[in-house]
Amino acid sequence: MIGLSFAFASSESWGWAETVAAVINPVNNTSMCTNWRARPSTNPCEVPYDRTMDSLIEPSSLTGLSPDTIAISKVNLSLGTGAARVHILKDISLRVTQGEAIGLIGPSGSGKSTLLMVMAGLERPDSGEVVVNGTPFNALDEDALARFRGRQVGIVFQSFHLIPTMTALENVAVPLELAGNPQAAQRAAQELMSVGLGDRQHHYPSQLSGGEQQRVALARALAPDPAILVADEPTGNLDEATGKQIVDLLFTKHAERGMTLVLVTHDTSLAQRCDRVIRLRSGRIDTVAADRTAAS
């Protein structure tokens, strides 16, 4: 059941509590991870593993790449059981260089959100390899992967997923506190100021507009200074003008911080603002579209 509900993390039916747990709590969401579905287990004792760095010392087959890179190799992922089993991602290979912005487009159901979740370490592929910032996910156990995610991956969802009983400041501070940052509140306040919400720190989500809530969510994603920021239709619940402000802010932050950005969107013109556009079709990268992008 949890396995099924997780798969829709990307779509809006993922449970609120599960989403919040995954976004804000880098460690204590491991029960969710272990319950997604059976997956090849990796015993961290079998590989040289540096717990301080949360990374493998052993080079993977994808090493040699720039360390701040998303490298996905031959990823396959199916979800569901029996007749309802769906092969969602089919032999996906993709490299994203440090600081690059990728626009991920494609028809509804083509696997965009699922691929984003794979890149974020929120979903494990059945086969293939995912390396983010030099760290192969295959070799991390669930706790290590959750810690890695907490530090290196910022996630923004369409529906904001803020904790309603916490103020904006608390929402942004929680993941920092969980990561042991001794100046979580101070850092959270800075981050809220940087998204233009310096005067809304003590407001609860219900007291904020949709655009303001998405700014809080963006501040929360950015606060740990992640290597990659993934955003799944971040303007999907906003009116056009507000959506544009959020997107402008997203690209400003991307330019300021040099992090890698993966943006899922239905909006082709929005995707065109990225360095590269990747189109998915039925779980595969549309190579024709990729060639056209490369040629243009």
Q: Calculate the CA 225 to chain-centre distance.
A: 13
Which of 80, 99, 128, 236 lies at the binding interface for ligand ADP (CB under 6 A)?
A: 80
**Which lies closer to Mg ion via its Cβ, residue 111 or residue 211?**
111
* Residue closer to Mg ion (CB basis): 116 or 228: 116
Among 17, 53, 57, 86, binds ligand ADP (CB under 6 A): 86
DSSP string of 52-114? TTTEESS--TTBTB-SS-EEEEEEEEEES-GGG-EEEEEEEEEEE-TT-EEEEE-STTSSHHH
Choose among 271, 285, 261: nearest CA to 70: 261
Residues 73-132 that bind Mg ion (CB under 5 A): 113
Which of 265, 257, 290 lies closest to 104 in space, CA to CA? 265
CB 223 within 8 A of CB 187: yes
**Least spacing, CB of residue 116 vs ligand ADP, in Å:** 8
Segment interacting with Mg ion, rule: CB under 5 A, options 10-18, 143-151, 198-206, 266-274: 10-18
Distance CA 67, CA 135 (A): 8
With CB under 5 A as the contact rule, the residue among 10, 30, 42, 260 that binds Mg ion is: 10
Of 63-71, 111-119, 125-133, 244-252, the window that binds ligand ADP (rule: CB under 6 A) is 111-119
CB nearer to ligand ADP: give 64 or 82. Answer: 82
Task: Find the binding residues for ligand ADP in span 42-61 (CB under 6 A).
Answer: none
Q: 161 burial class (0-12, 13-18, 19+ CB within 10 angstroms)?
A: buried
Positions in the binding site for ligand ADP (CB under 6 A): 4, 7-8, 10-11, 79-80, 84, 86, 88, 106, 108-114
Positions in the binding site for Mg ion (CB under 5 A): 10, 113
